[in-house]
Amino acid sequence: MSETASDRTSVPQHVAIIMDGNGRWAQQRGRPRTFGHSKGVEAVRRVVEAAGDRGVRTLTLFSFSTENWNRPADEVGALFELMKRYVAADLASLKKKGVRIRIIGRRDDLTPDLAEIVTKAETDTAENTDFNLNIAFNYGGRDELIRAAQSLAEAVRAGDLNPSDIDEGRLSAALDTAGLPDVDLMIRTSGEQRISNFLLWQAAYAEFYFTDVLWPDFDDAELGRALDSFQQRDRRYGGVDAGAA
């Protein structure tokens, strides 16, 4: 990942994107929803490259939610297949570019072949430090918090942790995103304005950018508009401006 911008002081270091609109994009063209998902993978490739070039260090993409199991079985199967194809096709290139891949979400519902690919992607890129690419697959924010709470409860039961020692740091360390910074900017495409159970803890102080652009059409230019919008925000974290009366 090359860097092109000269001033990166106001670039969000962690950008999260809810990639919405694949189905509508396809339907507008008289094609099946699965065609839209396939085109959405092309947008993923564009945006991963563009984010790195613009100075973003961590990118988290919402690919498949725990609620997406309610979709038709053929669409769910197509999403699983696309995940396998993307990782298999792009792993070598991403590794060479210094990208560390993490797949966040539940693992117990993954097919054995997908679980194997996920493990390989994470293992092969574990030493990379230039750019973090997190793919939220079979992920739900509430589910993540429940799993973190269960993990801490098990540590308490085993006598390894006192309940009074549980604080924000320990809970953060029990999440799928352990060791990564909180989200600075969350983007949602397709005109919807909700976070849909995505990174509930990590987005506590995130700025939001909503765009009518459908995900398959999302590109470097739209990412640039999102980053420009972020740079206009006044992030006070509950405080007030230093110059405020």
Active site residue 143: no
One of 20, 90, 176, 184 is an active-site residue; which one? 20
What is the DSSP code string of 206-218?
-EEEE-S--GGG-
Q: Which residues pair with 210 in a beta bridge?
A: 188
What is the Cα 185 distance to its own chain's centre? Answer: 11
In three-state secondary structure terms, 141 is helix
One of 7, 22, 68, 220 is an active-site residue; which one? 68
How many angstroms separate the CA atoms of 10 and 60, rounded?
19
Could you give the angle at which helices 73-96 and 112-124 cross, rounded to 10 degrees? Answer: 20
Active site residue 228: no
Within a 13 Å sphere around the CA of 72, how many CA atoms are in the beta-carbon half? 7
Q: Which residues are catalytic?
A: 20, 68
